[in-house]
Amino acid sequence: MIHTHYMRRFFYDKTTVALQKLGYAVFFLAYKIFVSLEIKGKENIKHLTGPIILAANHTNELDVTSIPLVLPFFSPLYPIFFVMNPIEKFKTFGWRSYIYGTTFLNMLGGYSIYSGYKDYATSLEDHISILKNGGTLCIFPEGKRTRDGNLNPARGGLGFLIHTTGATVVPVVIDTFFNMSVIDFFTRRRKVVITILPPMTKQDIISENIENPSTEDYRGWSQKVMDKIKFALN
C-alpha cells in the first residue's frame, strides 16, 4: 500500500530544517539558563556518517527537547527526526495537548508512526525512508515513558529498523528528567546527564542470519541496545 502524501523530500524541506534549528536554539538557551545539563561522550559521534539511529531511554516529555543537543549545531548528522505516536494520542495530555500540535512537533523533527496496520514496514514507512536517505533518526525503544523510573522492556520497532536499513545505532543514556517538577526546572535543583555510548553496527546487534525475523526477534535485537543503556545507568 503506497501513501502518496507520505513521499516527502525530508532533506530538501528548508522550512522544516529552519524550524528545527530554531528549536535547537530555544532549548539550548533554556537548558543553559534553567537546568544543570551535562552531555558526555560526544567523541563517540565525531566521525559518524548516516544513516544513524539514536536510541534513548525515555524518562520524560523533555527528552525530545534535549536529544538534538547531543550534536553540534552545524553537525552533518543534523537534523534529527523522531519516531513518535500519532497526533491523536496527544489529545489525552490535558492542557499540554494545545502545545503538542503538528507545527511544534515538526519543529522537533517528529514524524508519526502509522498505527493500526500491525505491520512494521507500513507503520514505520517514513522512518525507513529517512534512514535509507542517509538521515538521523531518534527512537525510544521502550515505546513509552517510564512510570516508575525503571526501564521498560524494548519493543520491536528499533530491531526492525536495524534489520531493514542496516543503520548504525548510537545508544543514548538519559539520567534523568524523571519526575522533574516545574520548580526543579527553574531552580536548577536537578542535574541531568546525557551520555552518548559507543556506536553499534548491525553486525554487533544481529549475529544470526534470519531470513524472516519474527516480532520476538525484533524485540530481542532492540533489547540488546536497551541492555547497553541499562548497564550504563547502573
The Cα 137–Cα 54 span in angstroms is 6
pLDDT recorded at residue 96 = 58
Place of cell 525512508: 129
Q: Is the pLDDT of residue 10 over 50?
A: no
In a domain, 139, yes or no: yes
Domain membership of residue 29 (yes or no) is no
Percent of the chain residues past pLDDT 70, beyond the cut: 82
pLDDT score recorded for residue 92: 63
Q: Does residue 7 form part of some domain?
A: no
Q: Is residue 3 part of a domain?
A: no
In a domain, 68, yes or no: yes
Answer whether residue 10 is part of any domain.
no
Using CA atoms, how far apart are residues 136 and 133, in angstroms rounded to an integer?
9
Instruction: Let me know if residue 84 belongs to a domain.
Output: yes
Number of domains into which the chain is organized: 1
CATH code at 56? 3.40.1130.10
Selected residue with higher pLDDT from 161 and 69: 161
Range of the domain at 83: 34-233
Mean pLDDT, the chain, whole residue set: 84
Average pLDDT over residues 121-136: 91
Instruction: Please state, in angstroms and as integers, the Cα–Cα distance from residue 178 to each residue in 27, 71, 131, 142, 207, following that order.
Output: 18, 22, 29, 15, 34
Q: What single string gives the DSSP state of each residue in 106-117? A: HHTTEEE--TTS
Q: How confident is the model over 2-17, as a mean pLDDT? A: 50
Looking at residues 178-198, what average pLDDT do you find? 88
Q: Is residue 114 scored above 70 in pLDDT?
A: yes
Say how far apart CA 211 and CA 58 lie, in whole Å.
31
pLDDT of residue 79: 84
186 within domain boundaries: yes
pTM of the predicted model as reported, rounded to 2 decimal places: 0.86
- Determine the Cα–Cα distance for residues 37 and 45; give it in Å rounded to an integer: 19
